[in-house]
Structure 1
């Protein structure tokens, strides 16, 4: 048996974008989860804090749509963030049935720590690529992501 090829996947798999993306995503997800766990956060926390930092206070439903997170997962993650003082829930003055979520200084600090941890993980993931190749990979994956996002949205989605 050829030991050099012993651990290598078959070429018919390695030549499939779906297989490569799936396996890269699995490895990436594990590394990101480990990095976030080291600072006491999770992927959903980071996404919600990032949305609040960039776009300002929002309803739970709007955050879920913006971050692509299911409603029940948004509620659970926001409960955790509120319990740790990273966000504040308050009734929406325009509709008292709805909550508005606001980022706190503690949440902004945790977001900065998460961004730093994520940056180190990104460096490890993309180590074999030059800066130009990294930019091109991000650009191409963004095109695929946007294309798939448009296809999976209901016709009424913004």
Structure 2
């Protein structure tokens, strides 16, 4: 009988971990102000970027989310109609529209999404920049490998 390959131990542990992570993330319910909007993970990602990095253009958001600008535009339109996001002219270039979190929704969104960012900050804080990059690159590689089937 052979002993398991050490990477298999890590694989086993990760296979058990990921469903728990997803389950816990799903249990973090949006505040009452946002519950009626049927927000999907893609909405959470968009709002997280705006919360962490501030107002951005649709093109910037599309680049960061790695989706088409039309997809972001549809998300922004949907959330704007619901009063969650706002769009305004860029003072530097009036042709550009800037997307931001609506002032009335900012506290609710922060209450909902800040625990995710805080948990990552606590987890990554003791690591070196190279170690943090390794974790991110590893998760990105895993995502790509799963997508490739």
User: TM-score when scaled to structure 1?
Assistant: 0.54
Q: Name the counterpart of 2:147.
A: none
C-alpha separation in 1, matches of 2:85 and 2:107: 11
C-alpha separation in 2, matches of 1:61 and 1:52: 13
C-alpha separation in 1, matches of 2:31 and 2:100: 25
User: TM-score when scaled to structure 2?
Assistant: 0.57
| Structure 1 contact 49–107 (Cα < 8 Å) conserved | no
Q: Quick one: which of 57, 61, 64 aligns to 2:62? A: 64
C-alpha separation in 2, matches of 1:56 and 1:113: 16
C-alpha separation in 1, matches of 2:94 and 2:15: 42
Q: How does 1:21-32 map to 2 (within 5 A)?
A: 21-32=14-25
C-alpha separation in 2, matches of 1:31 and 1:38: 16
Deviations 1:70-121 (A, max 9, x none): 235433432332122111123546263x5321221123122222136658xx
CA RMSD after TM alignment? 4.0
SS in 1 for 2:83: coil
Indicate how the Cα distance of structure 1 residues 141 and 89 shifts in structure 2: closer, same or farther if over 3 A, else same: same
Indicate how the Cα distance of structure 1 residues 38 and 29 shifts in structure 2: closer, same or farther if over 3 A, else same: farther
C-alpha separation in 2, matches of 1:32 and 1:43: 10
Deviations 1:6-39 (A, max 9, x none): xxxxx6685144x543542333223312323575
2:44 aligned with 1:53, yes or no? no
Indicate how the Cα distance of structure 1 residues 81 and 142 shifts in structure 2: closer, same or farther if over 3 A, else same: farther
In structure 1, runs of 5+ residues without a counterpart are 1-10, 123-130, 153-158
Q: Name the counterpart of 2:146.
A: none
C-alpha separation in 2, matches of 1:55 and 1:135: 18
Q: Name the counterpart of 2:134.
A: 143
SS in 1 for 2:27: helix
SS in 2 for 1:108: helix
Indicate how the Cα distance of structure 1 residues 21 and 136 shifts in structure 2: closer, same or farther if over 3 A, else same: farther
User: How many pairs does the alignment contain?
Assistant: 127
SS in 1 for 2:111: helix
